[in-house]
Structure 1
Amino acid sequence: MAYYRSVGEVPRQRHTQHRDPDGRLYREELMGEEGFSSDSSLLYHRGVPSAILASEVWELPEQRTVPNHPLKPRHLRLHDLETGRDAVTDRRLVLGNHDVRIAYVVTGTAPSAYYRNAIGDECVFVEIGSGVVETVFGVVPYRSGDYVVVPRATTHRWVPAEASRLYAIEANSHVAPPKRYLSRYGQLLEHAPYCERDLHGPSDPLLVEGTEVPVLVKHRTSAGIVGTAMTYATHPFDVVGWDGCLYPYTLNIDDYMPITGKVHQPPPVHQVFEGHNFVVCNFLPRKVDYHPLAIPVPYFHSNVDSDEVMFYVAGDYEARKGSGIELGSISLHPGGHAHGPQPSAIEASLGAEAFEESAVMVDTFAPLELGEGGLAVEDEGYAWTWAADDSDR
C-alpha cells in the first residue's frame, strides 16, 4: 500500500506491552510481506491468533485447466454461467495459469464462509452489487464498480446487501499500483490516474467475539492448489486495533481518471494494478482521440509476449461491435495471434468524440488456460467473426 493507517487502539511504541482495562495483555501479530522486508501491519488481538482446534481438508471447486489448443481467440459469456450463491465457495474458475486465476460468482445475500487466501492477493471487481467485506482489519464497504483488494492471508468474509456479480482476480503474488505511478517513497504521483483519496480501507475495528470459528484456507502444496478448513479457538476478528501499510481497500472506477491523447492510446495508459507476470487495466467512458484523421478504435496488434483478457462491464464496446460480444462477455486474445477491431467498426468509429464503455482487462505474460467455468459458456463461433465481417472489403 502507498500510505500508513492507524485504526483502533494501538500502543505508543511497537512491540511493547498493550493491555486491556482489566490488565490483560493483547497479543500482537505482525502481518507482513516478503519476509519482514516489505509492507506490513501490526494487529492487536484479544485472543491467540494461532490457536486452532482442528484442521481438515476443504475440497475446493474444480481448479483444473486445459490449454488453449488449438490456438484461437475465445469468447466466454459469463452471464450464462450458473453458480452457487456463496461469494467464496461457489466461484467457478474461468481462466488461469501459474500466476493468476480468474473466477466468477453471482452471490445471494447470505454471508460467505470465513476465508483466507494464503496463495496471493485477491483483486475482486464488483460488476454489480453492494455490501461489505468483513475482515480482520475491520469492515470494507463495496459497491458496483469497486475493485476490492484483499492482501494475501487476510481472514475475511463477504456479506452482500444484494445479489452481487463478482469477477475475482486471484494472484499468486501481491497486487499493487504500477511502480511508475509511485514516488521512490511510495506516494502516488501527480501523473497517476488515481490517488490515495480514492482508496478506501477500514476505519474502525470490527471486534467480534466467538469460539470454534471455521475458516477456509486456500494454499499451495507440491501437488498444486488445495484447501484446508481450520477451526480457531477464538474469533479471528477480535482485533482491538492495528496500524501499518498493509490492509484491504477499495478503488471505484468512477474515481479513476482516464488518460487520453491526440491519437489512439495503448493499454498501458489504462493500467490500474500490477501483479507478478500480469497487469490489470480498465477502459472507461472518456473523450477519444482529437487528431483530425484519428481512428478511435484500436489498431490490429499482436501481443507477442502476453494473453489479453477483456471483461465487458457496461456501455457498448466500439471495437467489438458485430462480434457477438455483449455485457458480461469475456474475450481471450492469446499471444501468437493478431487481433483488433471488427472491420466494420473501424469506419463506424471515425469522427467519434467519446466512448461510453467500461471494461476490465487482464494481460498475462504466461499463456492462459481455460477453466471449467469458461468452457461451460464458450461461444464457439467467435474466432471466425473477423472473416465473416467483410463490410470494409
Structure 2
Amino acid sequence: MPYYRSVGDVPPKRHTQFRQPDGTLYREELMGEEGFSSDSSLLYHSGVPSAIVDAQVWEPGDLATQPNHPLTPRHLKLHGLFENQDWKAYDPVTGRRLLLGNADVRISYVWAGEESPLYRNAVGDECVYVEAGAARVETVFGVLDARQGDYVMIPRAMTHRWIPQGDAPLQAYCIEANSHIGPPAKYLSRYGQFLEHAPYCERDLHGPAEPYVQTGTDVEVLVKHRGPGPAGVVGTRMVYATHPFDVVGWDGCLYPYTFNVEDFEPITGRVHQPPPVHQVWAGTNFVVCTFCPRKVDYHPLAIPVPYYHSNVDSDEVMFYVGGDYGARKGSGIGLGSISLHPGGYAHGPQPAAIEAALGVQEVDELAVMVDTFRPLELGEAGLASDDGVYAWTWAGRRADT
C-alpha cells in the first residue's frame, strides 16, 4: 500500500512492551513483504498468533489446467456455470471454479450465498472483483464492506472470511496471484504517493476503520499455500488455539482495502488510446485494466473502437460486466462473458462494429481485463463455459461448414 494507516490501539513505539488490562503482554506480529524489505504492518494480538493445535490436508478444488491447443480465441459464458445451480449452497472461497491459469495467476468465478470458512491464501495476493451483490469481508485487520463494482484487495497470507449480504448471489471474479498485486509504479512517486496523472488516488482506497475483535478456541482456518499440486498450489486445514481475529490494533502500510470502479477516472485522447491507459493494478507477469464509461476519441476522423492488434507478448482476458461493449457486437458476447485472445493471434473489433462506431461521442461499457505475459491454460470451468464458436465470428463461418 502506498500510505500509512493506524487503527485501534498501538503502543507509542514499535517493538516495545504493550500490556493488556490484566497486565500480560499483547503479542506483536509483523506481517511484511519481501523479507522485511518492503511494505509491512504490525498487529497486536491478545493470543499467540502462531499457536496451532492441529493441521490436516485440505483439497482446494480442481486446479488442473490444459493448454489452449489448437490455439484459438475463446468465448466463456460464465453465468451458465451457476445460474441453474443452488448458488445459496456455495461460499465465495470453496465455491470458486477455475477458468484460466498459468504459473503467475489463476482466474476463477463464483456465485455464492453461504458464509465462507476462515481462509488465508499464502501463495499470493488476491484481487476479487464484485460483479454483482454485496459482502461483508471480515479480516484480521477489521471489516470491509464490498459492493458491486468493488475490487477487494487481499494481501498474501491475510486471514479473512466472506459473508454474502442480501437476497441476491454474490457474483465474484477472483484473480489469485503468485505474487503481490498493487497500483502500477507509473502512477506513484518514488516515495509511494499517487501522482497527479494517476486515474485514482489514496482517497479512493477504503481500508478497515476499526478492529474486529473475536474470541474463541480451536478455530479452523483453510490455508492455500505453495506445494506440489496443480499450479504448485496445495491446501492445509489449520486449527488455532485462539481466534486469529484477536487483534486490538495495528499500523503500517500493508492491509486489505476496496476500490470501486466508479472512482476510476478514464484517460482519453483525440485518437484511440491503447489499453495501458486503463491499467488499475499490476502483479508479476500480469496487469489488470478497467474499461469504464467515458468520452471517446474526438479527432474528426477518429475510429472509436480498437484497431486490430497482435498480442505478441501476452494473452488478453476481457470480462464484460456492464454496459454495451461496441467492439464485440455480433460475436455473441454479452454481460457475464469472457473473451480470451491468446498471444500469437491478431484480434480486434468485429468487422461491422468499425463503421457502426464512427461518430460515437461516448461509450457505456464496463469490463475488467487481465493481460498475462505467459500463456494461459484452461481450467475445468473454462472448458465447461466455452461456447465453441467464437473463433469463427470474424469470418462468419468455419472452413468445414
- TM-score, length of structure 2 as denominator length: 0.96
Matching residue's letter, 1:85: Y
* Residue 321 (str. 1) matches residue 329 (str. 2): yes
Corresponding residue of 1:186: 192
Corresponding residue of 1:344: 352
Corresponding residue of 2:9: 9
Corresponding residue of 1:171: 177
Structure 1 residue 131, shift from structure 2 partner: 2.0
Aligned counterparts of 2:127 and 2:394: Cα–Cα separation in 1:
32
Question: Could you tell me whether the CA contact under 8 Å between 2:181 and 2:283 is conserved in 1?
Answer: yes
- Aligned partner of residue 394 in structure 2, secondary structure: helix
* Residue 37 (str. 1) matches residue 37 (str. 2): yes
Structure 1 residue 132, shift from structure 2 partner: 1.2
> Counterparts of 1:265-304 in structure 2 under 5 Å?
265-304=273-312
Structure 1 residue 378, shift from structure 2 partner: 0.5
Corresponding residue of 2:261: 253
Corresponding residue of 1:369: 377
Please list every run of 5 or more consecutive structure 1 residues that lacks an aligned counterpart in the other structure. Answer: none
Corresponding residue of 1:358: 366
Aligned counterparts of 1:25 and 1:142: Cα–Cα separation in 2:
34
* Residue 143 (str. 1) matches residue 158 (str. 2): no
Corresponding residue of 1:76: 76
Structure 1 residue 130, shift from structure 2 partner: 1.0
- Aligned partner of residue 37 in structure 2, secondary structure: coil
* Residue 152 (str. 1) matches residue 156 (str. 2): yes
- Aligned partner of residue 68 in structure 2, secondary structure: coil
Aligned counterparts of 1:214 and 1:222: Cα–Cα separation in 2:
23
Matching residue's letter, 1:135: T
- Aligned partner of residue 299 in structure 2, secondary structure: coil
Structure 1 residue 21, shift from structure 2 partner: 1.7
Note the aligned Cα RMSD (angstroms).
0.8
Matching residue's letter, 2:328: R
Aligned counterparts of 2:159 and 2:115: Cα–Cα separation in 1:
14
Corresponding residue of 1:197: 203
Aligned counterparts of 1:318 and 1:266: Cα–Cα separation in 2:
16
Structure 1 residue 111, shift from structure 2 partner: 1.5
Structure 1 residue 60, shift from structure 2 partner: 1.5
Structure 1 residue 222, shift from structure 2 partner: 3.8
Question: Could you tell me whether the CA contact under 8 Å between 2:228 and 2:234 is conserved in 1?
Answer: no
Provide the aligned length of Structure 1 versus Structure 2. 388
* Residue 239 (str. 1) matches residue 244 (str. 2): no
Q: Percent identity?
A: 72
- Superposed CA deviations along residues 181-216 of structure 1, whole A, max 9, x for unmatched, are 000000010000000000000010000011110000
Corresponding residue of 1:93: 98
Corresponding residue of 1:67: 67
Corresponding residue of 2:27: 27
Matching residue's letter, 1:380: G
Aligned counterparts of 1:272 and 1:188: Cα–Cα separation in 2:
12
- Aligned partner of residue 159 in structure 1, secondary structure: strand
- Aligned partner of residue 332 in structure 2, secondary structure: coil
- Aligned partner of residue 30 in structure 1, secondary structure: strand
Aligned counterparts of 2:314 and 2:49: Cα–Cα separation in 1:
41
Please list every run of 5 or more consecutive structure 2 residues that lacks an aligned counterpart in the other structure. Answer: none
- Aligned partner of residue 219 in structure 1, secondary structure: strand
Question: Could you tell me whether the CA contact under 8 Å between 2:331 and 2:393 is conserved in 1?
Answer: yes
Of 84, 105, 115, which aligns to 1:111? 115
